[in-house]
Structures are given as C-alpha cells and as structure tokens.
Amino acid sequence: MAWIFLVLSIAALVYMYIQNYMIEVSRFDLTIPKLSDTMKGKKIVHLSDLHLSTRTNKSFVETILDTTEEQAPDYIFITGDLVQAGLEDFVDTPLRHFAEECAKIAPTYAVTGNHDIVSGSFSDFKYILKTAGVKLLLDEAVTLPEGTAEGITLMGLAERMNQATLPQPILGPITLSEEMVDRPKILLAHRPEYFVHYMLDKTKSAELILSGHTHAGQFRLPVIGGLYAPGQGMFPKYDYGLFNSSEDFTKRMIISRGLSNSSFPIRINNRPEIITITLN
C-alpha cells in the first residue's frame, strides 16, 4: 500500500507543478472594424496578474520572458497586479528586471490592479516602471503607433481603492481627442466584472477590452468553469476567455487566466496563461 501512496503523491506533485508553472499560450486572431493598414497584422502579447514578490520563483520569471519573446510581439500589454499586495518595498522583487526585459522585447504598456496600489510605495512603483521603459496608463490614452496620425487608441483605466465610489461613467476620467474617438480603441482594465459599464460611454467604448483579476476562478470545474473570482463571487460569469457585448458583437473582452497566484497558492485545472492576439 505504501508504494501506491508514493505513486499518488508523486502524481499529485507533478500535476500541481504543471498547473502552476507550465505556461499555456492562447492565440486569438481578431478582426477590428476600421483598423488601419498600419495596425493590420500587428501582434499583441497580453500578460496579467504576475504578483511579483520577494518569494517569486526567478526561473519562472525568465520562462515568462522567454515565452513572451518567442511570440515576437509588436506590443506588450499588462493588465494589472504586477506585484503582490503588502510588500514593504520592491528592492528584492523581480519588478525592475521584468519591466526592463519586457521593454526590450516590445513597447510595453500597463495598468494598475488592486494589488499594485496597496503594495510598497506607489510612487516607487511608478518610478520603476517609467525608468524601465514601461508606460503606465493611469486614466490615460495614447495612439499606437505613437507619433502617427492613424492607428488605434489605447486606453488605460486606473485601479480605484474604493470600488463603491467608481466614477460614472466608469471611463469618464479618460480624456480623448476627437481623433482618438474616431479610431478603433483598445481598453486595458484590470477588472472584467464591469464589462457592461465599459460600454456605456459610446465615445469611449472599445472594440477590444483586455482584463485579468479573476485567475480564471482559481479552481476550474469541468463544464461549470471557474469556482470563485474576486468582485464576482462564486461561479463568476466572466472567468476567462473571450466575451462579446450583448449590445454590439463587434465589442469584445478577453480575460487572462493570469500567470501567478495571490492569496491562494494553488491552481487546479487552470494553467498560467500568456495571450497572443493578432489584429486584422
């Protein structure tokens, strides 16, 4: 009987390793209405929820970077929770190294998640990303490619400390020029549970929303899907993958399963994910 227990224990450890450290690359080819020729065929790598801390496995970070580079992206978009909540500072974390390496691979843009704004010094967090070459979009918008007259509008929604006092409409703090309004738009927003709210301001509603936060429900059950997601509770509607707006099927949201864990250290039936999106 002892050998059966040993075999089962080894099998369980192998399964846990696969579920927590073997990255799956998910690929999407998306048609964006009125997309300019300058953006057709461009490739985006979407990363989310790394939860970097002093305990982060450094070799896993290198695997994330290597896998990202293998996708040959034109842009890298990060949708929050780069760091774990509660850190005193970022000195012994891979934050700077990770940000610098991403910026070497491709122009990198990020938004904040709930963990980012309650960890270390937020001014230090912003300084590290800025000096590493990562553009942090805090209720801001830019045109991609930057410095051109055509392309797409990339918006970034800043995370709020208090979800009870969100602006209405939720994208109100983001200012767009007339030219930005007329272009196809991509929104980076950490929380997918506000999908309907992201659609309310018709001048800012995006053709594509990229999000994270859910960890795909942490535990994924066959047929049922994710078990629990913060902000949505049990059996979340928006757990991971591609969702279409019920009002306009050209408006879509992609939710990443994320790359690491936060409070609960184990994933089940839910490998870490890097998303690659090709625009058409």
Q: What does pTM read for this prediction?
A: 0.93
With beta carbons less than 8 A apart as the criterion, state whether 229 and 98 touch.
Answer: no
Q: What pLDDT score does 1 carry?
A: 67
Residue 13 DSSP one-character state: H
CATH number at residue 91: 3.60.21
Local structure of 162: helix, strand or coil: coil
Per-residue confidence (pLDDT) for residue 213, from 0 to 100: 96
* pLDDT at residue 61 in the model: 96
- The 10s digit of each residue's pLDDT in 5-64 is 666 666 656 556 566 668 999 999 999 999 999 999 999 999 999 999 999 999 999 999
CA 155, distance to chain mean position in Å, is 13
pLDDT of residue 223: 78
What one-character DSSP code corresponds to residue 52? B
Extract the residue ranges of the chain whose pLDDT is less than 70.
Answer: 1, 3, 5-21, 264
- Spatial CB neighbours of 256, under 8 Å, sequence gap ≥ 6: 46, 47, 48, 49, 79, 210, 211, 212, 240, 273, 275
How much is the pLDDT for 220? 85
Strands 208-211 and 185-188: parallel
- Planar angle of CA 75, 73, 138, nearest 5 degrees: 20
Give the residue carrying structure tokens 């208090």.
Answer: 162
Q: What pLDDT, on a 0 to 100 scale, did the predictor assign at position 250?
A: 87
| Dihedral angle sign, alpha carbons of residues 102, 158, 208, 263 | positive
pLDDT at 262: 74
Instruction: With H, G, I as helix, E, B as strand and everything else as coil, classify residue 48.
Output: coil
CA-based diameter of the chain, in Å?
72
- DSSP-assigned beta bridge partners for residue 152: 144
Looking at residue 13, its pLDDT comes to 61
* Amino acid in the structure at residue 270: N
Task: Tell me how long the chain is.
Answer: 280
Domain count for the chain? 1
**What does the pLDDT read at residue 228?**
87
What's the gap between Cα 94 and its chain centre?
A: 18
The secondary structure of 78-140, three-state, reads EECCCECCCCCCCCCCCHHHHHHHHHHHCCEEEECCCCHHHCCCHHHHHHHHHHHCEEECCCE
Three-class SS state of 73: coil
